[in-house]
Amino acid sequence: MNEVVFKGSRSGLKMILTNTIDFATNENLIRQKLDASFKFFEKGTVIHLDADWLSELQKEKLEKLFDEYGLILQNAENDDSAENHATADNANSDSADNGMKMPLKTTVINQTIRNGQEVISDGSVVINGNVNPGATVIAAGNIDIHGACRGIVHAGAFGNIKATVSASYLIPMQIRIADMVARAPDKCMSKEDAPYPEKAYVSDGQIILEQLTGRR
Amino acid sequence: MSEVIVITSGKGGVGKTTTTANLGVGLAKRGYKVVLIDTDTGLRNLDLLLGLENRIMYDLVDVATGKVPYRKALVRHKKHDNLFLLPTSQIRDKSAVDGDQLVDICNQMRSEFDYILIDCPAGIEQGFKTAVAAADYAIVVTMPEISAVRDADKIIGELNRADKTHIKLVVNRIRSHMVEAGDMLDMSDIDDILAIECIGQVPDDEMVVTSTNRGEPVISNKKSLAGQAYSNIVGRICGEQIPFLDLKKKNLFDKLKQMLHV
Ligand SMILES: Nc1ncnc2c1ncn2[C@@H]1O[C@H](COP(=O)(O)OP(=O)(O)OP(=O)(O)O)[C@@H](O)[C@H]1O
Ligand SMILES: [Mg+2]
């Protein structure tokens, strides 16, 4: 199920398709994915389409599909270069940027995010429930999980390197903050591996974990 | 009172058919009138587990298409005469029956049967959608390993999306000594991830396999721990409060051993 991938990038939220499967299959997979997750999408969220190989007609079809879910699909501009520049060094200018555009809103979700479901937000996200293995949370701002985080979490997904991920039990498959990645050890982790609530943030060019007091 | 229960899992081979057969026999032993509907076209089907292969005349597709009334297709169990099977089609096409047709068949059966159990195919495709369409509630079967639990998690998401929110969990093939080895999950992690009520913890038990070969589900075997676990599930389905079997006697020792090694 990794043929259709949603990914945060400096220029916004992207949907990446592989050209190894035909359009009808891609369309189907997208629909499945939106069906599984759409209620977690903020209405009016803009998603950039990264699939040059599609015809105009096919792109139009996809735009209509997204429109059914209240989402806006746009053609991705050539932003690869911008993406590659993202390093810890220009973090400051970047977050200042973000701050100027608009204050980030916070979405609160009161349920467990299950395998195959994705939460995508152009603000911050608070989840009162677990994020299970195979679930993904992507947010432009912070991610705060009041429960166990076992899935993939991407905070500051549009380039904000000041973003944080916190959880009562932080045992994720992968943590991403802006373009930094940290992954879990190759064994399956249990709650015992997270004796206290933790917060992940970027410091000195790497993702570090810090104990959170007064939580859980 | 009539209840339609679908037995589903996501991942294949975790014990859906075994569970359906055992619960069917267990409920029949308690005097309920039970029908098992096989919606899968796999290799180890319900008819085999119940030793009824040679008695099949008509199947689910014949009933769905109106070729015969359901009573004509039912196969009565040899020992338990209030247990019936509606066999799966031998035609390997899971889309031959749709959800509406199954709902219709179940509605016809409700007045005659106390329990209607539906054995679901693996996966989340059309066969799954058909099987769950008629269900009042779902039993999700999983095993204590990460891939099976992840599939169960996905299935629960799908069930919720189909407005099925009444879901119970059965954890099958528990091997306590493997939980400690690291690639098996323990019950508390499974409970925490899936967050649905667990009504069964069934140990891995060779007698499940040997009894399958004899066409008599393991629940009839008093000596089998798995059989006992299935009896307990039947009790819980009937609303009884039954504590779980202690499958972890060795755990404390294993844990100590592990700590000494570090
Ligand atoms: N508790 C158990 N202990 C030992 N073996 C078991 C147990 N439960 C099931 N098995 C064995 O595991 C295999 C798969 O079981 P079963 O056919 O019931 O799974 P299934 O979920 O229906 O599979 P499918 O997805 O193919 O329909 C069978 O060979 C069965 O005998
Ligand atoms: Mg089966």
Residue among B180, B186, B192 with most chain A CBs within 10 A, to mutate: B192
Q: Is the pLDDT of residue B250 over 70?
A: no
The answer to whether residues A14 and A52 touch, using CB atoms and an 8 Å cutoff, is no
Nearest to B154 among A114, A130, A191 (CB): A114
Q: Which residue from A35, A133, A190 is facing B150, i.e. has the nearest CB?
A: A133
Inter-chain touch B183–A188, beta carbons under 8 Å: yes
A87-101, B120-134, B169-183: range with highest mean pLDDT: B120-134
Answer whether A125's CB lies under 8 Å from A118's CB.
Answer: no
Question: CA-to-CA distance for B115 and B5, rounded, in angstroms?
Answer: 8
Identify the pLDDT of residue A67.
92
Nearest ligand 1 atom to alpha carbon B203: 1
For A67-116, what is each residue's pLDDT tens digit?
998 889 998 765 444 444 433 333 344 444 444 455 678 989 999 999 98
Reported as a single tens digit per residue, the pLDDT across B53-79 is: 889 999 999 999 999 999 999 999 999
Chains A, B: CB pairs < 8 Å: 46
Q: What is the pLDDT of residue A97?
A: 44
* Amino acid, single-letter form, for residue A72: I
CA distances from B176 to B180, B203, B210 (A): 7, 8, 21
Q: For residue B180, what pLDDT is reported?
A: 57
- Closest ligand, as measured to the CA of B247: 1
Sign of CA dihedral B43, B49, B52, B54: positive
Which residue in A has a C-alpha nearest to residue B157's C-alpha? A114
**Domains in chain A: boundaries:** 4-75, 106-211
Contacts of residue B249, defined as CB under 8 A and 6 or more positions apart, other chains included, come to: B176
Give residue A111's identity as a one-letter amino acid code: Q
Greatest mean pLDDT among A48-57, B87-96, B116-125? B116-125
CB A207 within 8 A of CB A200: yes
Reported confidence tier of residue A122, pLDDT bands at 50, 70, 90: confident
> A129 to chain B: which residues are within 8 Å by CB?
195
Inter-chain contact A114–B161, Cβ cutoff 8 Å? Answer: no
Please report the pLDDT score of residue B92 as a whole number: 59
Q: What is the separation of C-alpha A62 from the centre of its chain, rounded to a whole number of angstroms?
A: 21
Q: Find chain A residues with C-beta within 8 A of B185's C-beta.
A: 188, 190
**Better-scored residue on pLDDT, B182 or A46:** A46
Cβ-Cβ contacts under 8 Å for A98 (sequence gap 6 or more): A104, A140, A158, A159, A160
Answer whether B189 touches A (CB < 8 Å).
yes
Mean pLDDT over residues B214-230, rounded?
Answer: 93
Residues of A in contact with B161 (CB under 8 A): 35-36
pLDDT score recorded for residue B255: 35
CATH class of A106-211: mainly beta
- Nearest ligand 1 atom to the CA of B44 is 17
Predicted pLDDT at A96: 41
Farthest CA pair distance, chain B: 67
As a whole-number percent, the residues of chain B with pLDDT over 90 amount to 71
Residue of A nearest to B195 (CA): A112
DSSP helix/strand/coil, B67: coil
pLDDT at B257 over 50: no
Distance CA A63, CA A30 (A): 11
B119 touches chain A (CB under 8 A): no
Which residue among B151, B161, B189 places its CB closest to the CB of A191?
Answer: B189
Min Cα distance B142 → chain A (Å) is: 14
- Band of residue B95 on the pLDDT scale cut at 50, 70, 90: low
Please provide the CATH number assigned to the domain covering A4-75: 3.30.750
Name the residue of B9, B18, B22, B224 to mutate for ligand 1: max ligand atoms within 8 A of Cβ: B18
Structure tokens at B3: 């209840």
- Phi and psi dihedrals of A212, rounded to 5? -100, 130
Residue B217 has a pLDDT of: 94
**Band (A58; pLDDT cuts 50, 70, 90):** very high
Is pLDDT at B249 greater than 50 in this prediction? no
Query: How confident is the prediction for chain A on average, in pLDDT?
Result: 82
Going by pLDDT thresholds of 50, 70 and 90, the confidence category of residue B181 is low
A142: Cβ contacts below 8 Å, ≥ 6 apart:
A124, A125, A155, A156, A163, A164, A165, A166
CB A201 within 8 A of CB A208: yes
| B201 Cα to chain A: minimum distance (Å) | 19
Per-residue confidence at A192, pLDDT binned at 50, 70, 90? confident
As to burial, measured by CB atoms within 10 angstroms (0-12 exposed, 13-18 middle, 19+ buried), residue B7 is buried
When pLDDT is cut at 50, 70 and 90, the band that residue B248 belongs to is low
Q: pLDDT averaged over chain B? A: 88
Nearest Cα of chain B lies from the Cα of A35 at a distance, in angstroms, of 9
Q: Phi-psi category of B75—alpha, beta or left, where left has phi over 0 and alpha has psi -120 to 50? A: beta
The domains of chain B are located at: 3-259
pLDDT band at B256 (very low <50, low <70, confident <90, very high): very low
Question: CB of B9 closer than 6 A to ligand 1?
Answer: yes
Facing residue for A150 by CB, picked from B154, B157, B193: B193
Element (H, E) at A209: strand A206-211
What CATH class has B3-259? alpha beta
- Predicted confidence band of residue A3 (pLDDT cuts 50, 70, 90): confident
Angle at which helices B146-161 and B126-133 cross, to 10°: 60
| CA dist., res. B258 & res. A41, Å (int) | 45
CB-based contact A171:A193 (threshold 8 Å)? yes
Rounded to a whole number of angstroms, the distance from the CA of B126 to the nearest CA of chain A is: 13
DSSP 3-state of B27 = helix
* Residue with the larger pLDDT of the pair A160 and B178: A160
In the predicted model, what is the mean pLDDT of residues B24-32? 97
Per-residue b or e along A40-63, where b marks 16 or more CB atoms closer than 10 Å to that residue's CB: bbeeebebbbbbeebeeebeeebe
SS3 category, A143: strand
Q: Are B182 and B255 in contact (CB under 8 A)?
A: no
Q: Which of A35-49, A134-148, B230-244 has the lowest mean pLDDT?
A: A35-49
Whole-number pLDDT of residue A83: 42
Q: What pLDDT score does A94 carry?
A: 42
Residue B40 tokens, joined: 């899968």
